[in-house]
Structure 1
Amino acid sequence: MPHTEKLISREEIFTGRVIHVTRDTVLLENGEESTREVVHHNGGACIAALNEKDELYFVRQYRHAYEREILELPAGKLEKGEDPFYAAKRELTEEAGITADDYISLGTFLPTCGYCTETIYLYAAKNLHQSSQNLDADEFVTVEKIPFAKVAEMIAAGEINDGKTIAAYYRLAMLREKGEF
């Protein structure tokens, strides 16, 4: 029998530009009540773009929540109701300044399923073309190309520790191993 919780009530705690937070009262499968604090988020899209030299495009940017620069694949949040595939294509152009002829879905990633509704849609792209960056006014990134084989070493060394990037990389690595990308 699947495990479930039944929502009894929901209290709005905070509504912001990117997230809103609720305090939910739920009925557990043992008949007891419990409280869940939930961060609601529209989700995001992340894209691993592989060039003809077998390099992945990364962006390095300052992330305020961690108070440091993070090296990650191009990604961005979804607008309400936005198609994740179009968001991934948009972010690839906006952040890395490239477009692609071929795309494949790498599935989804749930970054913080204990308290957040965010789902990140993962994609890979190849047969790339140079375009131009179109960064948001509050966005400052440096584009870096890293050889595909070196990325695993950087993940193992803790130089790349962004969850969506790690998930996309290893899913793409599995497809490449099977000759599917």
Structure 2
Amino acid sequence: MLEKTGDYQEKTIGTQPIYEGKIISLQVDTVRLPGGRTATREIVRHPGAAAVLALIEDKMLVVEQYRKPMEKFQIEIPAGKLDPGEDPMEAAARELEEETGYRAGRLRPISAFYTSPGFADEKLYLYAAEELVKGESRPDEDEFLAVEAITFEQAQQYIREERISDAKTMLAVYAWHLYRLTGQF
């Protein structure tokens, strides 16, 4: 088994900012490797995001939207990036209401994970929504979403068809499966 040790840590000796956008920034770091050599690391900085597994009568709320980087429509759970200084649970509640119109009486943490730790620092927080109350959706002006409640079997089919192919939604489906088997996330 590998042991975590400072001997394997990379020390940053220089950072070159490349791009600063609305959602991400890109930098190239020069690092000193164990043994003394240097290397470069391209790093995407992201403020983090929150996502919600919302179940209504054993159906999962999802949104379908066009994803330009993939050039296709995707079915995903409600999610969005954190605003500066925003609590992830507050962001999850905000995104659920904006995208689906539902408000959660309670949110419970399921998991938090890094989406692509090889080059990005984005951390995504996944919550389970409970005590849902229907309201009006208010998507951002540049969001065009179709909201649907799907069965577990539909979710599995959409994964096979790659209509669901993002990590957060796939993790939510697996958490839902665990919940269906054990009553716990």
**C-alpha RMSD of the superposition:** 1.5
- What is aligned with 2:50? 45
For the pair 1:87 / 2:76, whether they are aligned, the reply is: no
Report the alpha carbon displacement of residue 31 of structure 1 after superposing the two structures with TM.
2.0
For the pair 1:4 / 2:5, whether they are aligned, the reply is: no
2:73–2:163 contact (8 Å) kept in structure 1: no
1:14–1:21 contact (8 Å) kept in structure 2: yes
**C-alpha separation between the residues in 2 aligned to 1:28 and 1:65?**
33
Report the alpha carbon displacement of residue 69 of structure 1 after superposing the two structures with TM.
1.1
- What is aligned with 2:61? 57
Residue number among 111, 136, 144 corresponding to 1:107 in the alignment: 111
Normalised by the length of structure 2, the TM-score is 0.91
**C-alpha separation between the residues in 2 aligned to 1:95 and 1:24?**
37
Report the alpha carbon displacement of residue 131 of structure 1 after superposing the two structures with TM.
0.7
1:59–1:95 contact (8 Å) kept in structure 2: yes
Could you list the runs of 4 or more consecutive aligned residues of structure 1 that deviate by over 6 angstroms after TM superposition? none
- What is aligned with 2:79? 75
**C-alpha separation between the residues in 2 aligned to 1:62 and 1:68?**
6
**C-alpha separation between the residues in 1 aligned to 2:180 and 2:130?**
12
Identity of aligned residues (%): 40
- What is aligned with 1:20? 25
Aligned residues: 180
List per-residue Cα deviations over 1:6-61 (Å, max 9, x = no partner).
1111011111111111000011123211100101000111101001x200000001
Partner SS, residue 172 of structure 1: helix
Which stretches in structure 1 are left out of the alignment for 5+ residues? none
**C-alpha separation between the residues in 1 aligned to 2:176 and 2:107?**
12
Residue number among 127, 132, 138 corresponding to 1:128 in the alignment: 132
Report the alpha carbon displacement of residue 130 of structure 1 after superposing the two structures with TM.
0.4
List per-residue Cα deviations over 1:95-151 (Å, max 9, x = no partner).
011012232111112221111111111111122110111111111100011013431
